[in-house]
Amino acid sequence: MPGRIAIAGGGLAGLSAVRELRRLGYDGRISVVGAEPHRPYRRPPLSKEYLLGDDTGLALPGAGELGVTWLLGQAATGLDLTARRLLRGAQEPVPFDALVIATGVRPRILPGIDGLRGVVTLRTLDDTRTLRGALAGRPRAAAAGDVARWPSPMLGGRLIRVEHYGNAVAQGAHAARALLGIAGRYEPVPSFWCDLYGHRLRSVGLTGAGYESRLLAHELDGRVLAEYRHNGRAVGAVTAGFLHRLTTYRHLLTESTKEHA
């Protein structure tokens, strides 16, 4: 069994090799050489949650509990196979009896982008920190009310705009949360009411000429109920008088929005 093992590469593959060595009972010296100054971390969040300000979920658990010598901040630059040494530029070479090469690769750089403003290579934690700092330096902006469109789950993500009082209230509050970085998805079920010819007309969901309409009830006293569909699925309803039926539609559309979000 080798007395000294060197790992060239401080990423997930290198950490996985260390974990397996320890799991299999190897108790000798392990040295990990990494170009970055950071211990292994998860890369997928760099272009997702972390870029948006969420610092959780980066750390790979157990890295500090494996009895490893971490030699970070200086990349492996070569091998001296005769002397069994892993070279680190001007730094002291790392002797080994066995070696794992897990250096990863460099990101591919598109030709012709050198010197272009706003073009950032996103590969490492430091790359993301640089980009996140640049984004935070710009003012946040959000749209709300009649001017704003949003993707509707009920319509398969199609952008819609609703000119209702309730939507202006809900979107204004959502815009405020967006400026503070705490907004979730905007998935409202629009609604409105108005008084018309002695009746109170109420609507829920998406209605209008752009959807298939069907008259479900029309009473002599002026009570009426109409349903609106899109691709065979209910997306809205309008009533004068059938308030309990409208409550049922509101519940149905709310659950449908969650299901298709």
Digit-coded pLDDT (tens) for 4-20: 999 999 999 999 999 99
Average pLDDT, rounded, for the chain: 88
Residue 120 domain-assigned (yes or no):
no
What integer pLDDT is reported at residue 222 of this predicted model? 85
What integer pLDDT is reported at residue 137 of this predicted model? 67
Q: Which of 49-53, 120-124, 148-152 has the lowest mean pLDDT?
A: 49-53
195-223 confidence digits (pLDDT tens): 888 888 999 998 988 889 999 999 898 88
Q: In terms of pLDDT, which residue wins out, 120 or 12?
A: 12
Torsion of CA 37, 41, 44, 45, to 10 degrees: -90
CA separation for the pair 221, 223 (Å, rounded):
6
Number of domains in the chain: 2
Contact 166, 192 (CB under 8 A): yes
What integer pLDDT is reported at residue 2 of this predicted model? 87
pLDDT tier, 40 (very low <50, low <70, confident <90, very high otherwise)? very high
Residue 226 has pLDDT above 90, yes or no: yes
Residue 107 domain-assigned (yes or no):
no
What integer pLDDT is reported at residue 228 of this predicted model? 94
Residue type, 246: L
Q: Smallest Cα–Cα separation from 58: which of 45, 39, 72?
A: 45
Residue 191 domain-assigned (yes or no):
yes
* Structural domain range at position 157: 145-260
Residue 139 has pLDDT above 90, yes or no: no
Contact 69, 86 (CB under 8 A): no
Residues 75 and 181 in one domain: no
Determine the average pLDDT of the residues in 74-78: 94
Q: Which of 51-60, 116-125, 136-145, 219-228 has the lowest mean pLDDT?
A: 136-145
What integer pLDDT is reported at residue 75 of this predicted model? 94
What integer pLDDT is reported at residue 93 of this predicted model? 97
Residue 46: exposed, middle, or buried by beta-carbon count in 10 A (0-12, 13-18, 19+)? buried
Residue 114 domain-assigned (yes or no):
no
Q: In terms of DSSP bridges, do strands 150-152 and 29-34 run parallel, antiparallel, or are they unpaired?
A: unpaired
Question: Which CA distances in Å does 237 have to 6, 139, 215, 220, 225?
Answer: 68, 40, 10, 20, 7
Residue 129 domain-assigned (yes or no):
no
Query: Given 42, 69, 101, which residue is the final one in a domain?
Result: 101
Residue 168 domain-assigned (yes or no):
yes
Determine the average pLDDT of the residues in 149-155: 85
CA 208 from centroid of its chain's CA atoms: 34
Residue 52 has pLDDT above 80, yes or no: no
